[in-house]
Amino acid sequence: ETGVTQSPTHLIKTRGQQVTLRCSSQSGHNTVSWYQQALGQGPQFIFQYYREEENGRGNFPPRFSGLQFPNYSSELNVNALELDDSALYLCASSSYRGFATNEKLFFGSGTQLSVL
């Protein structure tokens, strides 16, 4: 059983650029969530994808967008990067089976994004 993998591990961009972060879900998982973790803060929910559709979104502007592919891997895209976008971006997969409760999340190691 493979865990959640994210790439790249580190990334440096300049303000105004665009970035794509990638995530491979744990085997058998059909749901992926993305979180932003700024320094000294807890992870903050960006959005979740279930079966290739956005299933919920946090308080992030539209320049944060995502995709989920048929194999359940996922991308997070951020346009027009701002300095405050510098953070650790975490991907988490889970197996949603239509229950009301939140299923256990399995996190990746994250991508550290620095915007200069």
Interacting residues toward other proteins by CB under 8 A: 3-4, 33, 35, 40-45, 48, 55-56, 58, 90, 100-102, 104-110
Closer CB to other proteins, 3 or 28, in the complex: 3
Shortest Å, Cβ 51 to other proteins: 13
What are the backbone angles phi and psi of residue 40, rounded to the nearest 5°?
80, 5
Distance, in Å, from the CA atom of 59 to the CA atom of 25, rounded to the nearest integer, reads 23
- Fill in the amino acid letter for 4: V
Closer CB to other proteins, 46 or 81, in the complex: 46
Closer CB to other proteins, 39 or 70, in the complex: 39
- Give, as one character, the DSSP assignment of residue 99: -
Task: Work out whether strand 111-115 and strand 10-13 pair parallel, antiparallel, or are unpaired.
Answer: parallel
